[in-house]
A and B are shown apart, each in its own frame.
Chain A
């Protein structure tokens, strides 16, 4: 892992939105919405564009 990435990781964790106790319910909701979107895309009919 690069030194830059280590430094970034430490700095990001210290940001105000990552303080202990921060409500992160939205993260799980966003991940689930992404999953459902990908599922729907995978089921979509492929339509030729030519």
Chain B
């Protein structure tokens, strides 16, 4: 039986319910393909790639604000969450914002990722259920390819770790 939405599950549920278009990406997205909790990789946040439009970003920030989130950009408080010009610039340059909640944790709002556009990731994203709500998660191969495309040492190290442990993900015994 599904449990009532709480924490980050409730956040995703509220975003989806408000019509915010997003795809879960990053290590958090890759964790969705694990078979057991023991297979999940540790990560400090969950990454949501938003459809990069001003309206979608504004809607996401409104929902999160109502849920008690505060925002940061590049480690500094982001107070311009209702400033249309600023939000349009965030979308234009494909920046990221961090949504922080004292009890729920951190949700990173990405307006771009390495290797793929939002449309490319959304096209074959897998719709899983989270607390009775559909949540779209990027296709596993694309999430891994995005890590490769970023070229960051920590992402390349993650790929090596994932490949070493992938047989656990693949074990259907």
Please measure, in the bound complex, the distance between the C-alpha atom of A32 and the C-alpha atom of B43, giving whole angstroms: 9
A20:B42 contact, CB within 8 angstroms: no
Which A residues touch B46, using CB under 8 A? 28, 31
B163:A31 contact, CB within 8 angstroms: no
| Chain A: interface size category | 20 to 34
A27:B31 contact, CB within 8 angstroms: yes
B7:A32 contact, CB within 8 angstroms: yes
Please measure, in the bound complex, the distance between the C-alpha atom of A32 and the C-alpha atom of B137, giving whole angstroms: 18
Binds A, one of B51-59, B86-94, B164-172: B164-172
A22:B128 contact, CB within 8 angstroms: yes
Closest to A13 in B: B140
Name A's B-contacting residues (CB within 8 A).
1-2, 4-6, 8-13, 15-18, 20-35, 38
Q: Which of A15, A28, A29 has the largest number of chain B CB atoms within 10 A?
A: A28
B31:A9 contact, CB within 8 angstroms: no
B35:A17 contact, CB within 8 angstroms: yes
Which B residues touch A38, using CB under 8 A? 42, 44
A28:B139 contact, CB within 8 angstroms: no
Q: List 7 A-B contacts (CB under 8 A).
A: A5-B162, A8-B166, A10-B140, A13-B126, A15-B170, A17-B35, A30-B37
A12:B127 contact, CB within 8 angstroms: no
Give the distance to chain A from B115, nearest Cβ to Cβ, in Å.
10
B28:A25 contact, CB within 8 angstroms: no
Give the distance to chain A from B27, nearest Cβ to Cβ, in Å.
9
Q: Which of B2, B28, B46, B140 has the largest number of chain A CB atoms within 10 A?
A: B140
Query: Residue-by-residue, is B103-127 near A (CB-CB < 8 Å gives 1, otherwise 0)?
Result: 0110000000000000000000011
